[in-house]
Amino acid sequence: MHRRTAVAGVLLAASALTACGGGRLTAGTAAVLDGRRIPVGAVEARVAELRHPAGGASADARQQPDGLARRAVADLVLDAVVARAVVDHGLAVGGAEVAVARATDEERYGGAGVLARALAAQGVPGSGIDDYYRRRLGIRHLAAAAGQDAGTSAGDATVRLALADAATALHLRINPRYGTWNPTRVALLPDTPPWLAP
């Protein structure tokens, strides 16, 4: 499996988050991790940024607002889940490392604006670019700590297990309107399969 495909797979798989544990979430809450709320307002702001980015391409026009919102929740939750997994394994992702990875891609793509537009088209808003690289690096470090490559099936399985454990440790709960968390797949899945949706 190609490294980029596997890493993207882990990131998008976490695009399936759902309530885990009892009790209703308070109004205006998209998710709760270890007592920390992700407010619906933060999700809506991220979706608005994706639909109307400052300088270029928006997220895939085929994605409906509900799909963008689910992706936003998934990414916001994944930020916290990867960060927890990294800490739990005694690892770290520094700001300088994030900056180098981002600068490398900016050079490869032909500039910061081109990279930002490419990421926006994939559902990563401008305000979330550093978080995107922090997640990618965290995933690579988790695999490397086990002597594996995140781009292989074995490395992918190792990372998924680490993320599932971290989500459990965070007592992750997701507002059902955004889908259901599947701990085995480490993904936020829609409650209704798209082919059955009205």
Q: Give per-residue pLDDT as tens, 39-93.
A: 999 999 999 988 876 655 555 544 566 788 998 999 999 999 999 999 999 999 9
Does the pLDDT of residue 11 top 80, yes or no?
no
Cα–Cα distance for residue pair 131/114, rounded to 1 Å:
18
Across 67-71, 93-97, 154-158, least confident range:
67-71
Cα–Cα distance for residue pair 102/95, rounded to 1 Å:
11
Residue spans of the domains in the chain: they are 3-189
Residue 63 main-chain phi, psi, to 5 deg? -75, 130
Does the pLDDT of residue 33 top 50, yes or no?
yes
Mean pLDDT of 153-172: 94
pLDDT for the residue numbered 67: 84
Mean pLDDT of 17-33: 69
The answer to whether 81 and 14 have CB atoms below 8 angstroms apart is: yes
What pTM did the predictor assign?
Answer: 0.79
pLDDT for the residue numbered 191: 60
pLDDT for the residue numbered 56: 55
Strands (E), the chain: 29-33, 36-39, 173-174, 180-182, 187-189
DSSP-assigned beta bridge partners for residue 31: 38, 174
Q: Residue 30: helix, strand or coil by DSSP?
A: strand
The answer to whether 172 and 181 have CB atoms below 8 angstroms apart is: yes
pLDDT for the residue numbered 195: 39
Cα–Cα distance for residue pair 30/73, rounded to 1 Å:
7
Percent of the chain exceeding pLDDT 70 equals: 77
Residue 189 main-chain phi, psi, to 5 deg? -105, 140
How many C-beta atoms surround the C-beta of residue 185 within 10 A?
Answer: 13
- Residues 126-141: pLDDT tens digits? 999 999 999 999 999 9
Per-residue burial over 75-97, b = 16 or more CB atoms within 10 Å of its CB, e = otherwise: bbbbbbbbbbbbeebeeebeeee
